[in-house]
Amino acid sequence: MSGAGFEASIAARAAAAGIQLPHAAIRALADHASAVLAANPLLHLTTVTDPVELVERHIGESLEGAALLEPGIEGVLVDLGSGNGYPGLPLAAARPGLRAVLIEASRKKARFLGEVIEIDWFAGAAVLERQVQRGADLDEVSPVRVLTARAVGSWEKILPRLVGALDVDARVLLWAGEAVESVRQRPAWRNLELEGRHALPGRERSWIWVFKKR
């Protein structure tokens, strides 16, 4: 898919999610997608290598999350285990009041993300190369307004430990399946209240779960 093709597909997918993106943001997301595909053979950033599917699965599903946040939202967005930059960068593109902080433990992937955020639209973003296991690991960027987790291992243990780093009106967006229903009943989750869940288009038993801090 050409750059123009990427841009047209991204604009259409954003509109389907109820989001109107400025052209500069669309171009930045297209450049990011092209960078992911170019680096993928070496870094293994995604199993999705078809450009059309990438727009839907990575960019589209990220924008579905952005649509769950009010347009004027401001503050720090922490994308936990960012890897390839999804969902953090599309959320930041759609909600420019959020400053994206991409957390990635892999040095190679963190270096890739560092190059990606040099794209003009993402200039305010930052990359932290580290493991995050508890709230204190986010001290330098807290309070966190939005925390996202998609394809993050051990999310059921890690997310409750990060409540102390969240702002009073923070939201946690979790891309996950039906296991969340049982996990959220655990005592460790008592400080996170389920606000709702949003079904991902074309996906069975896969949602974006939205939690707020109690």
Tell me the CATH number at 78. 3.40.50.150
Residue 77 lies in a domain: yes
Contact (CB, 8 A) for 156 and 192: no
- Percent of the chain having pLDDT more than 90? 93
Return d(Cα 29, Cα 122) in angstroms, integer. 9
Long-range own/partner contacts, residues 130-137 (CB < 8 A, 24 or more apart): 130/103, 130/105, 131/105, 132/80, 132/103, 132/158, 132/162, 133/158, 133/161, 134/161, 134/162, 134/164, 135/161, 135/162, 135/163, 135/164, 135/165, 136/164, 136/165, 137/165
Residue 54 lies in a domain: no
**Is the sign of the CA dihedral 17, 22, 24, 25 positive or negative?**
negative
Mean pLDDT score, 192-205: 94
pLDDT for 120: 83
Residue 57 lies in a domain: no
What pTM does this model have? Answer: 0.96
Neighbours of 135 (CB within 10 A): 16
Residue 93 lies in a domain: yes
Mean pLDDT score, 116-130: 92
- Structure confidence at residue 32 as a pLDDT band (50, 70, 90): very high
pLDDT for 4: 78
The domain in which residue 193 lies consists of: 62-213
Residue 108 lies in a domain: yes
- Structure confidence at residue 43 as a pLDDT band (50, 70, 90): very high
Rounded to 10 deg, the angle between the 23-43 and 107-116 helix axes is 150
Count: domains in the chain: 1
Residue spans of beta strands (DSSP E) within the chain: 75-80, 98-103, 126-128, 144-150, 166-176, 192-199, 207-213
- Structure confidence at residue 5 as a pLDDT band (50, 70, 90): confident
> Each residue of 168-178: pLDDT tens digit?
999 999 999 99
Cα–Cα distances in angstroms (integers) from residue 78 to residues 186, 187, 197, in the given order: 24, 24, 20
- Structure confidence at residue 1 as a pLDDT band (50, 70, 90): low
Residue 24 lies in a domain: no
Residue 1 lies in a domain: no
pLDDT for 119: 87
pLDDT for 123: 83
Residue 44 lies in a domain: no
Mean pLDDT score, 17-38: 96
Mean pLDDT score, 107-135: 94
Asked whether residue 2 carries a pLDDT value surpassing 70, the answer given is no
